[in-house]
Amino acid sequence: MRILVCLKQVPDSTVRVKVAPDGKGIVTDGITWAISPYDEYAIELALEHKDADPATTVSTVTVGPARARDALRQALAMGCDDAAIVVGEASGLALARALAAFVREAKPDLVLCGKQASDDDQGFVGVALAEALGWPHVATVTRFASVDGGPAGSFNGVEVWKEIEGGHEVWRATGPVVLTVQKSAKEPRYPSLPGIMKAKKKEIPERELSALGIDTSAPVAEVIAMQPPPARGNGVILKDGDTAALAAELARRLRDEAKVL
């Protein structure tokens, strides 16, 4: 089976995000970038399939600025076979079209995406990619397995475990399909050192977004303002007085200051 994982490079979750002066984005200077967490689960799912069936190939692709190569290196270090980057800025529908153009050339049997990116939480690109390809789509996937049958090495579709409230459903796709992946019990693997070293030496072929010949004039919804949550004040420890006085003071504060009573 040939699997393609589409991934996005996002600010690492340890980064303290600051709103940029224009109020529409964040300050990106000097921050640490990482693979979006759900995309890491997608990679892990693909690599588990490869562990079980060595005939599987796992490729990755990203559309983004040149720094996104680091995310691809990380994916290679984890064990992906190859990686490609489409350099350029695109989002939403245009991004989905760019990926679709890449998928049509690469012809994978299966496309995996994280169910949403951790920076914008839109959950849009995977679904839009399926639409652009005219492929079916299954969301919140936690497991998949090949369907047996047909000539050796051929792709007969996949059975897919899809998480739903309180349980899961099993779906079957008979042809190529886009899966958007949910967090699963198996944590994404930590790259081995030989894996990191090999990944450093691998070629990452580069395409220009403009060379894909796609229509980037998609209808646009854009961020016009960004606000951090209000700063949290310090907690207070009540110390003075006996238990009754402390309880009364606590009740007063909860009622008058916190207004929760």
Partner 1 sequence: MIAPTGGFWSAGSILLVLTLLGFGGFIWRGWTLFRYLRLGRVRDSDRTDQPARRLRDELVVYLGQRKLLKRPYRIRGAAHALIFWGFLVITYGTTDLLLEGIFGLRLPGTETGVYVWTVDLFAVAVLASIGLAAFRRLFLRPPHMHVALDGYVILGLIAALMVTLLLFENAGIAAGLLRTGQATPPIAAVLPIRYPGESSAVVFYWSWWLHVVTVLAFAAYLPRSKHLHIVTTLPNVYFRSTRPRGALRLIENIEEQESFGAATLRDFSWKQLLDGYTCTECGRCSDNCPALATGKPLDPQKIVLDIRDQLLREGDALLARTDATGTAPAHQLESKPEELWACTTCAACVEVCPVTIEHIDKIVDMRRYLTMMESAAPPEAQRALTNIERAGNPWGEPREARGEWAAGLDVPTLAERPDAEYLYFVGCAASYDRRNQRVARALAAILKAAGLSFAILGREETCNGDPARRIGNEYLWQQQAQANIETFGRYGVRKIIASCPHCFNTIANEYPQLGGRYEVVHALPLVEKLIADGKLRLRDDAGTAERHPVQPAAPNEEGDGQQGQGPLPSEASGARTPGVKEKVAYHDPCYLGRHNGIYDEPRRVMDALSGVERVEIEPHHRERGFCCGAGGGRMWMEEKVGQRVNHRRIDQLRAAQADATKVASGCPFCLIMLEEGVGAKGLREQVTPVDVLELVHDRLIRPPGAQTEARSDEVEHSGPKRGVPPSEGRN
Which region among 38-46, 58-66, 206-214, 245-253 touches partner 1 (by CB under 8 A)?
38-46
The pattern of x and - marking residues 193 through 212 that bind partner 1 according to CB under 8 A reads xxxxx---------------
Here the tokens at position 127 are 């679904």
- Residue 204 contacts by C-beta under 8 Å, 6 or more apart in sequence? 69, 72, 73, 76, 83, 84, 85
Among 23, 24, 25, 32, binds partner 1 (CB under 8 A): 32
Under rule CB under 8 A, residue 227 binds partner 1: no
Q: Which residues share a beta bridge with 207?
A: 86
DSSP string, 167-222: EEEEEEESS-EEEEEPP-SSPPPPPPHHHHHHHHHS---EEEGGGG----------
Residue ranges in 148-187 that form contacts with partner 1 under rule CB under 8 A? 183, 187
Of the candidates 52, 172, 174, 192, which one interacts with partner 1 according to CB under 8 A? Answer: 192
Enter the DSSP assignment of 119. Answer: T
Instruction: Specify the residue, 154 or 192, whose C-beta has the smaller distance to partner 1.
Output: 192
Kindly state whether residue 144 participates in binding partner 1, applying the rule CB under 8 A. no
Residues that bind partner 1 (CB under 8 A): 12-16, 32, 34, 36-38, 40-41, 118, 183, 187-197, 234-237
